Chain A
């Protein structure tokens, strides 16, 4: 009995994990199906676009510009070890567009948007607002989840695009301001080096990360426990899950796009 107890605990944890993966997958499919079927709630969609997109711009911009700037310094310093300082524009561009832009924007959206969605919906659940929606003939998945998930799906790629540009600009500022690069050459080198596939992969990653961030916020909010503790736990779990899934999806997508 004592010997098998750890195994039983491991089995229980594995089964619980598998059940949760199944629940999240079904929830995500349900969210997608509600996006495609009427009724559509335009006001909620517009409000979600504003919250996920426009209001995330400052944090995305600041994250991208500092990361791009730090990247330029690191590449210059690292490159100088084998006389490759000149590759700063190219590496900053590829690093920001392929990898750091989408991942950092995804993580910032997870921190800002996933948490706020989870806290808002969880509070609605504990104060019976979700039950009230049902009694008012309004499907919570359609009214709360579909607009937020669709908004994130569409607007996070735009945030990633903005983040990529600002990140590259951060590198440009440092390279031309302190490292002695010629501005025109820097821009030409960046522009000539990037390929369409780099940009497209970046935007696709943005869309997937946006979907993950909003879906996790809605899932944990809808399944929140009771009281303030339930709301707190839902918020924390949603951000953890979104961040881990974004990093895992990033690896999967990078393998799919570039590991050939």
Chain B
């Protein structure tokens, strides 16, 4: 379980997180929604230690995320970045098997390559892309490779940062379905941040709405449409009228 307890984070005068409280139960898929620049990515990066909160605590399975062995902690996570964040200098299979080629999870090269090809197959890519470089792939293929890399070491917790941004609606649907299948199949805890409502409905068990640095609403995805929360209702409907200020 991942627990945010009164987490604050500012960048200079800009207060991004103003006391985030949230629980993500083990094995559930939580999707955090909210407008651009509301701090969704910041919240996610705080869990991984990529950004240090100013105050408050984040616990993973009851232990403070900032304490203890970093490598062992990060070995439990997989992450799909918004732009893929694939390493340009490495081939596709070396990207996927990155964690299996070095560090505590190191395997022999042939075995790592085999696992990488199996993961590529899992995300719908054929083995012939294994020796290509990321720059030779389309946006959708890069997302798939990023997804394969995120699941290569069988993590317990997977983070997805805007998984469908920049993709066409059909490819977005494919990625959403893949994410859902993989999360269910692996029994992983998933935390996704997005503002794509199709993704929310496809991926989420639970939804949390982040606005103004706090969680405005959280609940099961089935209750999202009848929440009665004005912020969530405005966000879902995409209306310019409502409590969320829309700059025209």
State the A residues within 8 Å of B (CB). Answer: 39, 41, 47, 123-124, 127-129, 131-132, 134-138
Known: A127-B85, A128-B81. A136 touches B50 (CB 8 A): no
Are B99 and A136 in contact (CB-based, < 8 A)? yes
Complexed CA–CA distance, A124 and B95 (Å): 14
Q: Are B87 and A134 in contact (CB under 8 A)?
A: no
One of B72-80, B193-201, B222-230 at the interface: B72-80
User: Which residues of B (34-82) have their CB < 8 Å from a CB of A?
Assistant: 45, 48-50, 70-71, 74-75, 77-79, 81-82
Residue of A nearest to B159 (CB): A135
Query: Which residues of B are interface residues toward A (Cβ below 8 A)?
Result: 45, 48-50, 70-71, 74-75, 77-79, 81-83, 85-89, 98-99, 102-105, 149
Q: In the assembly, what is the distance between CA of A136 and CA of B100, in Å?
A: 10
Within the complex, the shortest CB–CB distance from A239 to chain B, in Å, comes to 21
User: Pick the contact of A127 from B48, B74, B83 — CB < 8 Å?
Assistant: B83
> Is A128 within 8 A of B83, CB to CB?
yes
Q: Report the bound CA distance from A81 to B139 in whole Å.
A: 69
**In-complex Cβ contact of A135 among B79, B86, B88 (8 A):** B79
CB-CB under 8 A from A47, the residues of chain B are 89
Q: How far is the CA of A123 from the CA of B105 in the complex (A)?
A: 27
Of B71, B77, B87, B102, which is within 8 A of A129 by CB? B87
Give the residues in chain B near A41, CB-CB below 8 Å. 102
- The smallest C-beta distance from A217 to any residue of chain B, in angstroms, reads 15
> Which residues of chain B have C-beta atoms less than 8 A from A136's C-beta?
74, 98-99, 149
Name, among B48, B70, B81, B105, the residue most crowded by chain A CB atoms within 10 Å (CB to CB): B81
Query: Which residues on the B side are within 8 Å of A132 (C-beta)?
Result: 79, 81, 85-87
> A135 with B74: in contact, given A39-B102, A39-B103, A41-B102 (CB under 8 Å)?
yes
Which residue on B lies nearest to A47, using beta carbons?
A: B89
CB distance from A118 to the nearest CB of B (A): 15
Contacts of A135 in B (CB 8 A): 48, 50, 74, 77-79
Listed by A's residue number, 19 A-B pairs whose Cβ atoms lie within 8 Å are A39-B103, A41-B102, A127-B83, A128-B81, A128-B82, A128-B85, A129-B86, A129-B88, A131-B85, A132-B79, A132-B81, A132-B85, A135-B77, A135-B79, A137-B70, A137-B99, A137-B103, A137-B104, A138-B102
In the complex, what's the smallest C-beta–C-beta distance from B100 to chain A, in angstroms? 10
Min CB distance, B70 to chain A, in Å? Answer: 8
* Apart from the given pairs A131-B45, A136-B149, A138-B102, 4 other A-B contacts in the complex at a CB distance below 8 Å: A39-B102, A41-B102, A131-B85, A132-B79
Contact flag A134-B103 (CB < 8 Å), given A128-B81, A128-B85, A129-B85: no
Check if B48 sits within 8 Å of A134, measured CB to CB: yes
B74: chain A residues within 8 A (beta carbon): 134-137
Which residues from A are CB-within-8-Å of B89? 47
- Contact, CB under 8 Å: B50 / A131: yes
Q: Give the distance to chain A from B123, nearest Cβ to Cβ, in Å.
A: 17
B81: chain A residues at CB < 8 Å are: 128, 131-132
**CB proximity of A55 to chain B, nearest CB, Å:** 15
What are the nearest 3 A-B pairs in CB distance?
A132-B85, A128-B85, A137-B74
- Cα of A135 to Cα of B81 in the assembled complex, Å: 10
Name the A residues within 8 Å of B48 (CB-CB): 131, 134-135
Residues on B with beta carbons closer than 8 Å to the beta carbon of A137: 70-71, 74-75, 99, 103-105
- In whole angstroms, what is the CA distance A124 to B83 when docked? 11
Give CA–CA (A129, B98) in the complex, Å. Answer: 12
Residue of B nearest to A135 (CB): B79
Residues of A within 8 Å of B70, CB to CB, are 137
Closest to A44 in B: B89
Chain B residue with Cβ nearest A126: B83
**Bound CA–CA A128/B85 (angstroms):** 5
A29 to chain B, nearest CB (A): 20
A136 to B50, CA, bound (A): 12
| B232 CB, nearest partner CB in chain A, Å | 28
From residue A49, how far is it (CB to closest CB) to chain B in Å? 15
CA distance A138 to B87 in the complex (A): 13
- Expressed in whole angstroms, the minimum distance between the Cβ of B130 and any Cβ of chain A is 18
In the complex, what distance in Å separates the CA atom of A149 from the CA atom of B75?
28
What is the CB-to-nearest-CB distance from B97 to chain A, in angstroms, rounded to a whole number? 10
Distance in Å from the Cβ of A216 to the closest Cβ of chain B? 21
Q: Which residues of B contact A124 (CB under 8 A)?
A: 87-88
Q: Give the residues in chain A near B87, CB-CB below 8 Å.
A: 124, 129, 132
CA–CA, A124 and B98, complex, Å? 16
